[in-house]
Structure 1
């Protein structure tokens, strides 16, 4: 049996390391610092190495702007090194103190370093706080989920307290709300608009989701009140119009069936907007008026709403209402209410996947569901401003995961149908009389 010669591995003490390998003095000092923090974990060592690299980058930038010789006062220089200054940078979810090189021009102006400005940018910390809060990390737990940076850096770290995290999140959500409520809608080519309400404590936010002609979904606004009343929805729609939303080419508005929503839509957009009520809400409302052993009613109602022939579908619904009239009169009344708005999309000639998508409010309810999940850690709603900030944060968080509308390839057919509708309801202009 052949024996292999394997080099022996010998462990050395830290004091012996310098004798084992001859290294330059600066490198030995750096390695000693890294070796010390390496015992606290790989991430902590990475933080220390990262700070070293950052200092080298700042020194390199200052050298490029001032010159290599730090202490030389050369006559042809336009700037000189001016020692170091205390500062802080964002690292692993906190601010840690550091030193940065300084330089001044010959006329006394401070030289700014782009590298330092990037590493000290407060937006980095605000974005991290925002991500964690939206993911459900409580303010008191932010310190625990921070990346390890070593005991020395951790002891000197700042911006990790509950109040600091809360202030940053409040500022970030306010910025998000301002961005949402100032979006320019004049550049959006809209085909549809979905409206729905979401309740927080005793308040109600009516939210709006726009659907563009290419099938993309865009949150466009919210309005706070106590209920989904006509005034609240009218104010929201008026704000959207002020920011450029137009129904001149026709607009399909999908709502859950609330009368206030329909009244506000007609009040703001007139006959240019077509209302499609959510068929799922209608089925649920009728079902709630019936005992559980009457499931056959829901099956018939679902088949009627899926009928591509709107005349036959409406007739089936009215026949079903007559069947329910004597024994379940309230269920029959619920079925008849707003029945003509249940077939708007199919009346436009839209079927298939796009019809299945636009005959209910699932798209906007999905956004609302994410907004609710975002706020599950909130135990006390202090005021309306807080509600609006959190609601906007949830809407914008949902927007990041949006995909194009199911059936978006059929959008040209919808746009053409809306244009035909507008032409039909727009009074013809008497050109001879105008002349």
Structure 2
């Protein structure tokens, strides 16, 4: 593997792409550190921490995906989330709007048009969220914020904050697209991964503080540290296995005439991913459940506020969290996986599943198979998602440390790293270099 890393810098094109990607990552971290004009970032940080921003929930997700920009109150506070929200909205609308569905089938031209719509919708979402955040900052005591957050309130502050937040998000969106085109890996996903990994030094520092003895007694012993290392190893191994797990449906193609040439048939496979929905169910469930503690904290009753503080780590939160993950897993598959279209494409190309008649029976077979695979993937997602909450509530592990043992963070990091490694692997094998995987080595390449 070390020789494969060395070989990545021997290929001029691959080296340029990797260095270009690192340069854009550096710019992204600068954006997360530039503060908003006219805002007291220290007061914002204290307020969000007091509201449980570092303990999951909606504030936790926003701060996680923005790489700590929310706590810093920087121009990158909105991060790349508006672009992701716009992409998800258009993906869901593609299944119900005939015009978007037609564009999705037109190849590169249609995808470029959908990308253009996504950018327009991103601007709208950024403007709405930026204006809402500016008004919330300026609202002061009504939202629970200290009065000293905004130094010079007024219409000018709202417009300036909105423009700064929109500019920061659009700049990150542009950087992500440039990273995809001229760098290595998927730019948007890499930006999210870097933002998540940026909190790892703080997690390591927190863990070291727990290991350091106070009055001769340490909160975490060496035995507990060994258990944590073993746990993160096996959890990561399970996430990698489930991310790549798929069921291959055999497909037989018959001989057919193309012009004057007889095309040979053969056997191929239709891969169905076990975790088809990826990390989206966890994001949806976390965002929805994170709203209720925010509403409860605004109710002027002591019982409601106490419930808002204890609910994110309670049994009922994890129960509803798991139920919503199961629901959104099936919801995402139902909107994105179209067995009827797949069956029609196979029939048009002369393909069929052995033992299953083409057309409607094939679509029903694919639907049944995907339903069973989705159940396995949803149960796995639920177990991974609730693990950080269990570690925090039952074993008193700090949230910033527990978040790397499961949940959204680990799933995104593993998925993006595997995708980036596959792209680097393809560059190496194309230049007749040994890749990272043993099965990808070319024995007669030299």
The structure that has the greater radius of gyration is: 1
Higher relative contact order (CA 8 A, sep 6+): 2
Would you tell me which structure has more helix in proportion to its own residues? Answer: 2
When normalised by structure 2's length, the TM-score is 0.23
When normalised by structure 1's length, the TM-score is 0.23
